[in-house]
Amino acid sequence: SQQGEEDPQALSIQEGENATMNCSYKTSINNLQWYRQNSGRGLVHLILIRSNEREKHSGRLRVTLDTSKKSSSLLITASRAADTASYFCATEDRGSTLGRLYFGRGTQLTVWP
Partner 1 sequence: NAGVTQTPKFQVLKTGQSMTLQCAQDMNHEYMSWYRQDPGMGLRLIHYSVGAGITDQGEVPNGYNVSRSTTEDFPLRLLSAAPSQTSVYFCASSYRVVAGGPGGQFFGPGTRLTVL
- Please, which residue, 39 or 113, has the CB nearer to partner 1? 39
> Taking the complex as a whole, how short is the minimal distance between the CB of residue 79 and partner 1, in angstroms?
22
Please state the closest distance from residue 3 (CB atom) to partner 1, in A: 7
The answer to whether 103 and 53 have CB atoms below 8 angstroms apart is no
26 vs 41, beta carbon nearer partner 1: 41
Q: Which long-range contacts (CB under 8 A, 24 or more apart) does 45-50 make?
A: 46/74, 46/87, 47/74
Q: Residue 17 Cβ, how far from partner 1 at the closest point, in Å?
A: 25
Q: What is the DSSP letter of 38?
A: -
Strands (E) located in 1-106: 5-7, 10-14, 19-24, 29-37, 43-50, 55-58, 61-66, 71-76, 85-93, 102-103
Of 59 and 113, the one with the shorter C-beta distance to partner 1 is 59
Q: Specify the DSSP class assigned to residue 81.
A: G
CB of 83 to partner 1, least distance (A): 18
Binding residues vs partner 1 (CB under 8 A): 1, 3-4, 30-31, 33, 35, 41-45, 48, 88, 90, 92, 97-106
